[in-house]
Amino acid sequence: MSTNGVNGDGGHAWPKDVGILAMDIYFPSTFVDQAELEQHDGVSAGKYTIGLGQTRMGFCSDREDVNSLCLTVVKRLLEKTGTKATDIGRMEVGTETIIDKSKSVKSVLMQLFAESGNTDMEGVDSTNACYGGTAALFNSINWIESSAWDGRLGLAVCADIAVYAAGAARPSGGAGAVAMLVGPHAPLVLDRGVRATHMQHVYDFYKPDMSSEYPVVDAKLSIQCYLSALDTCYRLYKQKAAKRGANGLTLASFDAVLFHSPYCKLVQKSLARLALNDYLALEEGQAKLPELEKFKDTKLEESYFDRDVEKAFMAHSQPMFESKTKPGLKIATNVGNMYTPSLYGGLVSYMTSQAVEELAGRTVALFSYGSGMASSFFSLRVSPDCSAGSPLAKFASCLADVGPRLEARTKVAPEEFVATLSLREKAIDSAPFAPVGSLEQLFPGTFHLVGVDDKHRRQYARTDMAQQNGHA
């Protein structure tokens, strides 16, 4: 893939190499083992671990909410990168975990900037299921490339707590937050002019009950919507890339292909879906594999649940999955579906899967999907400069603790997991409310809910630092 063709500036005096300067991820300190959950739920062995491709699922007690997750990840990123509070000119939060119908999570995060006096900060919240984080990222990029940019950096934040009512969907939950520092001269540069979007009105997954964290899900429709949106976005991306000189673009054009991950098995099927798209786009005379020849007349809109097509292209794309997509699934299989941070947890996984010298210069394709629906296919390129002190080396050092943190979590029995979700059910709209979850289990530096007063006003503190810093 010719990134120069895709990323051409077209004569505009754009800020140079706008993209992601640094990232950090937060996930809960507790998890439930999916194999143990299978036993507890009385389902067949492998239903969650093999059928869904999930290993562990992170979850929060009543001590954490979407505000605390965002406070934790933003504070950590600013501290790790040495970014001053006054360096931020735009901050936006993507989330579907709504705890107030009016007050944005971004407004809560402004507490972190109060001491600096920086109140001149654009952005509020973006909401559309799992897509909100991508909207926050795109809006941050757009701001820096606009006439409104004042030279400061952007912060795109995504966070959610994904929980389901007891039943088949519960093992596809999770929780977490990702914060991305956005600006010019970035080690991860978003390609310009090629990102492709598909949006449509559909009731595949939605949350109409404001007194519950649980969604209404039409599982089969949701899968069909995801795959059809992927087809459309990929086709549009190819068309836009061709207009910029990148003709004949296929999966082979990318070093990595990352997806929003409701569960890991769907990601594997999605890569196979793109392989099917590539195959059907082959022109007469181009080499077609004999074992796939019988699928040459497949119609995309009729093949969402065609097991023969799915099986054939999963086998065909297996080597590509192992090298280009599986390295991006470590957090997804160990934490679960984080909703808006899911795709970006995949990017964190990929960028920590190998030495920075191996990642330098690579091209990465990303697909973001949010039910209801909103979706985009876009790409970025990793800086070729991985020398000591380079932006890419600094990017990698910021994520160096992700693996150790994953391993430092506490495993909780399924019975305690179920009891904790029951606690959350009771807490969802209670006021006044005093959380009872353990503080000892939280990671150092984690913001947590202290209490909710009779006017529903929430107060937070930070573990290990609460006494010296006071409440957030």
The widest CA-to-CA distance across the chain, in whole angstroms, is 72
List all residues 6 or more positions away from 256 whose beta carbon is below 8 Å from its beta carbon: 324, 325, 327, 328, 350, 362, 363, 364, 365
**Beta-strand relationship, 196-199 and 374-382:** antiparallel
List all residues 6 or more positions away from 63 whose beta carbon is below 8 Å from its beta carbon: 435, 437, 438, 439, 442, 448, 449
| Residues 277, 159: Cα–Cα separation, whole Å | 32
Q: Please, are residues 364 and 350 in contact by the beta-carbon 8 Å criterion? A: yes
Structure tokens at 179: 């914060």
- For the chain, give the number of residues: 472
- CA nearest neighbour of 229 among 273, 263, 163: 273
Q: Please, are residues 139 and 122 in contact by the beta-carbon 8 Å criterion? A: no
Q: Please, are residues 251 and 274 in contact by the beta-carbon 8 Å criterion? A: yes
Specify the residue for token string 């000119």.
89
For helices 307-320 and 264-280, the axis angle rounded to 10 degrees is: 100
| Residues 115, 457: Cα–Cα separation, whole Å | 21
For helices 414-427 and 34-41, the axis angle rounded to 10 degrees is: 80
Structure tokens at 282: 């082959």
Count of alpha carbons within 13 Å of 190, Cβ hemisphere only? Answer: 28
Quote the distance between the C-alpha of residue 210 and its chain's center: 24
Phi first, then psi, for residue 372 (nearest 5°) are 110, -25
| Residues 187, 77: Cα–Cα separation, whole Å | 16
- CA nearest neighbour of 365 among 265, 238, 244: 238
386: amino acid identity, one letter: C
Catalytic residues: 96, 130, 260
